[in-house]
Amino acid sequence: MARDIQITFDCADPAALADFWADALGYELQKPPGNFVSWDDALDAMGVPLERRNDASGIVDPDEAGPRLFFQKVPEGKQAKNRMHLDVRAAPGLDGAERMAALEAEAERLVARGATRLERHDPAPPFGAGHIVMADPEGNEFCLD
């Protein structure tokens, strides 16, 4: 039996990182629970103090196809290279120069949103279609693939 998964990011600013990844993936902020109109209304009702309201955030695929991403505040910063990373499929079905142009355009868009471009790997047939290594605003590596 397949399991549903959630991908969790430890981070310093859950709201900002959730916003970045929602934009990068076409996701949206998870709706507040119950009949609450806003997260502020829900957090008020739960008695969450203002200083704790950026302790966590979640984003979801509006089509319910992809996993939920959860962002939780931790006191320590990122220490080393990721042992696992996301591949953002930004050029599906494209090859060669057309593929790399699409990846470059997406890299430029995400840099404007706070990402950092780390490395470009040009196509290297037969197995390497080409990709760009990036880091999100808190330094978590991911690839535009």
Contact 30/59 with Cβ under 8 angstroms?
A: yes
Question: What does the pLDDT profile of the chain (145 residues) look like in tens digits?
Answer: 788 999 999 999 999 999 999 999 999 999 999 999 999 999 999 999 999 999 999 999 999 999 999 999 999 988 888 889 999 999 999 999 999 999 999 999 999 999 999 999 999 988 889 999 999 999 999 999 9
Q: Is residue 78 part of a domain?
A: no
pLDDT at residue number 66: 95
Q: What is the pLDDT of residue 11?
A: 96
Q: Which of 49, 73, 97 is the last residue before a domain boundary?
A: 73
Number of structural domains the chain divides into: 2
SS3 call for 131: strand
| Domain membership flag for residue 81 | no
Q: Looking at the structure, do residues 65 and 101 belong to the same domain, yes or no?
A: no
Note whether residue 130 is domain-resident. Answer: yes
Domain that holds residue 121: 86-144
Q: Give how far Cα 94 sits from Cα of 76, 102, 103, 114, 132, Å.
A: 39, 8, 10, 26, 14
Query: CA-CA distance, 61 to 27, in Å (whole number)?
Result: 5
